Amino acid sequence: MDVTRTQVLRYRCAVQGLAGQAPERAGIAALDLGVQDTGPDGAGWALAIRGGAEPTDELSLAWTLRGAPHAYRRREIAAVAAATAPWSDADAGKRIFDAAKPLRAAGIGILEALDVIAEAMAEIVTGPTVKGEVSSALTERLPAPYLRWCRPCQATHAYEQPFRLAALRAGLELEPDTSPPVLRPIPGWRGPATEVPDRLDPVRAVLHLLGPATPKQVAEYVDSPVREINRRWPEDTVEVKVDGERRHALASDSARLADPPTPTGVRLLGPYDLFLQGRDRTLLVPDEAARKDLWRVLGRPGAILEGAELVGTWRPRSSGRTLRLQAARWDGGALPSGLGEAAERLAAHRGRTFGGFV
Element (H, E) at 319: strand 309-319
Residues 181 and 46 in one domain: yes
Q: What is the mean pLDDT of residues 210-218?
A: 98
Query: For residues 102 and 66, is the Cβ–Cβ distance under 8 A?
Result: no
Q: What pLDDT does 249 receive?
A: 98
Contact 198, 144 (CB under 8 A): no
Who wins on pLDDT, 51 or 247? 247
Q: What is the dihedral of CA 322, 344, 357, 323, to 10 degrees?
A: 20
Whether 153 is in a domain gets the answer: yes
Q: Do 246 and 275 sit in the same domain of this protein?
A: no
End-to-end CA distance of the chain: 45
pLDDT band at 55 (very low <50, low <70, confident <90, very high): low
Q: How many angstroms separate the most distant Cα atoms in the chain?
A: 61
* pLDDT at residue 160 greater than cutoff 60: yes
Closest alpha carbon to 305 in 296, 297, 314: 314
Residues 156 and 237 in one domain: no
Bigger pLDDT: 150 or 334? 334
Q: What is the CATH number of the domain that holds 234?
A: 1.10.10
Residue 110 and residue 135 in contact, taking contact as beta carbons nearer than 8 Å:
no
- The answer as to whether 136 is a domain residue is yes
Q: Residues 6 or more apart from 129 whose CB is under 8 A from it?
A: 182, 183, 184
Give CA separation, 42 vs 47, 177, 269, 271, 348, in Å: 9, 10, 9, 8, 15
Q: How confident is the model at residue 154 (pLDDT cuts 50, 70, 90)?
A: confident
* 329 vs 304: CA distance, rounded Å: 8
The domain tally of the chain equals 3
Task: List the one residue out of 183, 175, 178, 200 whose CA is nearest residue 75.
Answer: 200
Give the residue from 232, 256, 280 where a domain finishes: 256
Contacting residues for 354 by C-beta, under 8 A, at least 6 apart = 322, 323, 324, 325, 340, 343, 344, 346, 347, 348
Mean pLDDT of the chain: 94
18-24, long-range: CB < 8 A, 24+ apart = 18/49, 18/50, 18/263, 18/267, 18/275, 18/305, 19/260, 19/261, 19/263, 19/264, 20/263, 20/264, 20/265, 21/261, 21/264, 22/51, 23/50, 23/51, 23/52
Domain hosting 279: range is 266-357
3-class DSSP state for residue 294? helix
Q: Is 115 left (phi over 0), alpha (psi -120 to 50) or beta?
A: alpha
26 confidence band (pLDDT: 50, 70, 90): very low
**Is 39 in the same domain as 148?**
yes
204 and 87 assigned to the same domain: no
Q: What pLDDT shows up at residue 23?
A: 44
How many whole angstroms separate alpha carbon 318 and alpha carbon 343?
Answer: 12
| Edge-first strand listing for the sheet containing 245-250 | 2-3, 237-242, 245-250
**67 within domain boundaries:** yes
Mean pLDDT of 149-177: 93
Strand partners, 317: 324
Whether residue 309 is contained in a domain is answered as yes
* Model confidence pTM above 0.85: yes
Beta bridge partners of 327: 314
Predicted local confidence at residue 27, as pLDDT: 45
Same domain for 238 and 172: no
Distances (CA, A) of 98 to 23, 148, 224, 252: 41, 10, 14, 39
The verdict on residue 193 lying in a domain is: no
162 in Cβ contact with 139 (< 8 Å): no
Residue 30: phi and psi, rounded to 5, are -60, -25
Residue 315's closest CA among 266, 267, 276, 271?
Answer: 271
